[in-house]
Amino acid sequence: MEPVTLVLYVAIAAALILIITAVVKSITVVRQAEAAVIERLGRYQRTAAPGLTFLLPFIDRIRERVALWEQVVSFPPQPVITQDNLTVSIDTVVYYQVTVPRDAVYEISDYINGVQQLTTTTLRDVVGGMSLEEALTSRETINSRLRRALDDATGPWGLRVVRVELKAIDPPPSIQDSMERQMKADREKRAMILTAEGHREAAIAEAQGNKQAAILSAEGAKQAAILEAEADRQSTMLRAQGERAAQYYQAQGEAKAIEKTFAAIKAGRPTPELLAYQYLQTLPQMAQGEANKVWMVPSDFGKALEGFTRMLGAPGEDGVFRYQPSPDDGTTASRPGADDADVADWFDTSTDPEIAKVVAAAEQHADAAIAEPESNGAGRHATGDGQTDTR
């Protein structure tokens, strides 16, 4: 092969390689959610969007590919001194996103390191103005202040701080021990308060139950008393009605008995001796009893009865006065009815000796009844008018 031909082949091969390299260098692909910062001859030329991008070979180059999605950076614990001179260790997490790739490349050399340092200084500034208790209970406030401070500071860098979170705030071990004891005391206090409130609620509920029970018991007693009073009233009314009815029928019976007795007396035409006999039968009954009694026995009692009989009656065949009804008094001197026949027969069949015996027996009974109170010291005293006073 001639030397000229060999040189020609080498030149053609070099040209092909150059062309292929130029084609490869001029075509690039930018992925989704990325941006490519392109420089031409060392100067910023443009920012390529996702997709196929053409470059001038050996003139344009990609300075840096910047991720446009939201990124999370966790920084190591940072010691921070609080307002009450206590050192706490705080872990932070920053969520940020690149909004201007050109500024993120040309405004700061390492924006991640810049965000970390800025977070540390801002955190010390915010927490340094708080006490430990405020720092532990004000995480939301710290997060908001940190996010605003970082967002303002990272704006020129083409970054946007979405949010800042405090993962942990760790006080010194001695402070943790004291806090645990305090928390334990607080829990015991709350437990005692809850127990006392439970006892109070139980006592209130029990008192209300006792109150309701007492009210119901009183109402029951009231209703029972009302019913009992009503029952007593009904019973009293029924008893009174029964007594009235009994008195009425007793009075009717007594009236009938008196009528029959009076009819029998009228039919029998009583004599003074019979009246004396009835009086003498009553004397023992008058003398009975524990109480002292004063009763008068007239000495001429027989004569008084005889005069009474003579005034109302007329002498019979035997010379004895007997009761005779007047013709104009509206009564009939008839015998008693069938039920009183024995009384009329007795009066008809009696004779004077028999009546004298009965009167004598009655007088003996009367003398015995009179002598009994005299034996107890009562005594018998005669009055000036011919009567005898027995006590």
By the 8 A CB rule, do 10 and 16 touch? no
Q: What's residue 329's pLDDT?
A: 45
Q: What is the CATH number of the domain that holds 29?
A: 2.30.30
Query: Beta 51-54 vs 27-30: how paired, if at all?
Result: antiparallel
Q: What's residue 178's pLDDT?
A: 81
Residue 374 makes CB contacts below 8 A (sequence gap 6+) with: 380, 390
The reply to whether 44 and 116 lie within a common domain is no
For residue range 93-139, list pLDDT tens digits in order. 999 999 999 999 998 888 888 888 888 888 888 888 888 888 888 88
Domain closes at, from 215, 239, 264: 264
User: What's the structural domain count of the chain?
Assistant: 4
Q: What's residue 9's pLDDT?
A: 80
- Which tokens belong to 317? 């065949």
Q: What's residue 5's pLDDT?
A: 80
Reference 48, options 21, 26, 29; nearest CA is 29
Domain closes at, from 264, 282, 314: 264
Q: What's residue 336's pLDDT?
A: 40
The reply to whether 51 and 80 lie within a common domain is no
Q: Give all strands of the β-sheet with 295-298 in edge-to-edge order.
A: 295-298, 387-390, 380-382
Q: What pTM value is reported for the model?
A: 0.43
The whole domain housing 287 covers 269-390
Q: What's residue 365's pLDDT?
A: 58
By the 8 A CB rule, do 166 and 90 touch? yes
CA distances from 228 to 213, 218, 225, 232, 242 (A): 22, 15, 5, 6, 20
Which residues in the chain show pLDDT less than 50? 292, 326-352, 373-374, 376-391
The reply to whether 280 and 197 lie within a common domain is no
Strand stretches in 82-133, DSSP E: 87-98
The reply to whether 278 and 385 lie within a common domain is yes
